[in-house]
Amino acid sequence: MADPVPATALQMRSLVTPDQTVELSLASVEVPTPGPTEVLIRVEAAPINPSDLGILLARADVLSATIVGPSDSPVVTMPLPDAVMRLMAGRVGISMPIGNEGAGTVVAAGSAPAAQALLGKTVAAAAGGGMYAQYRCVDAMFCLELPVGTPAIEGASSFVNPMTALCMVETMRRENHAALVHTAAASNLGQMLNRLCVSEQIPLVNVVRRPEHEDMLRSAGAAYVCNSAAPRFAADLTAALKETSATLAFDAIGGGRLASQILACMEAAASTSGGSTYSQYGSAVHKQVYIYGSLDPGPTELTRNFGFGWGVGGWLLTTFLGQIGLEGIARLRSRVAAELTTTFASTYTGEVSLAGALTLDALTAYSRQATGQKYLMRPDL
């Protein structure tokens, strides 16, 4: 706390250039003085989430990277294919800061009581990016004060994944479903959702792709785990859907036929539940899949062999938060704070410094997005 705040500090940047490259670098920027309601955070830990990778890498292939410059200030350049370049049209020439969330120590604060109250405290924050930096100035209202003694690392992922898990459950309730399906269920988020559903006694059907992930989730109390790579997948999933009556799925994968398979199994589960007569339009049960990630960026293929009571759509945390409003957000955030080291705990595969993140080894490791692996940015290292 006694460390003097420097005049300038490092901030990671990603720039798509007109000549079809993306350039990653560390900019030396002026450290801002907090406005009346703001606090200056010395960032100590920020997770590398898929949403951060989207901005950082601009869909470039890290294997094509060339890196120049000194090891404490490397510049990474990667070419962008035509198709990707079209998608990036809106950000050409804009040097973008990165990092949706993180945690650290408040080293300066504005005059407002809410800001002053945080001085010297360890806080987590999510406020529109820019946490991959040594210092970040944010409004005090976006900060979550961590319990005394909690290291910044434990609060780094206190927003994106916890709020996503909670909002999946909120969506389920608002749209009158009784249970959930989740794909890529062995991810950090998936494990969190599993703990949340176990504690709330919400039936959750976990879909994974590897046997070891089945075991891991079952050890964590999951009652339903289906392996999409197993030959019995359709039968297993249908049985689980019938038992749970789950008619809502959240899919992190996006591409391919998984969403379609889930809808078809939901329809099969609804049709065998008996009582209804034949209809060419299928069961009267509404079946919904929300795609919230894009681990497979290929097209989503829907075979439409599941009647007419179905929907598939994009799902975005920020859009949903807009729907539940400030009061709803506050309620969810206080729940996160109370269970940060239990229900909403995250684990990390490795840590990288700002400069260390811009090496080929590190880029290759954290860009892989292997299920259950997550890296932590440590701007203080």
Closest distance of CB 306 from a second copy, Å: 8
Sign of CA dihedral 356, 360, 361, 363: positive
Among the candidate windows 174-182, 284-292, 339-347, 362-370, which touches a second copy by CB under 8 A?
284-292
Distance CA 18, CA 39 (A): 36
One residue of 188, 307, 336, 378 binding a second copy per CB under 8 A: 307
Neighbours of 148 (CB within 10 A): 7
DSSP state of 19: T
Does residue 255 touch a second copy according to CB under 8 A?
yes
Binding residues with a second copy: total (CB under 8 A): 41
Does residue 325 touch a second copy according to CB under 8 A?
no
Does residue 81 touch a second copy according to CB under 8 A?
no
One residue of 141, 220, 295, 302 binding a second copy per CB under 8 A: 302
One residue of 51, 164, 191, 206 binding a second copy per CB under 8 A: 51
Closest distance of CB 36 from a second copy, Å: 25
Residues 6+ apart with CB under 8 A from 42: 3, 5, 104, 105, 106, 107, 134, 135, 380
Does residue 321 touch a second copy according to CB under 8 A?
no
110-141: burial string, b at 16+ Cβ within 10 Å, e else: bebebbeebbebbbbbbbebbbbbbbbbbbbe
Distance CA 330, CA 151 (A): 22
Strand partners, 328: none
Does residue 274 touch a second copy according to CB under 8 A?
no
Whether the CB-CB separation of 346 and 188 falls below 8 Å is answered with yes
Does residue 275 touch a second copy according to CB under 8 A?
no
Positions that interact with a second copy (CB under 8 A): 51, 54-55, 87, 90-91, 94, 96, 254-255, 260, 271, 277-281, 284, 291-292, 294, 297, 299-305, 307-316, 318-319
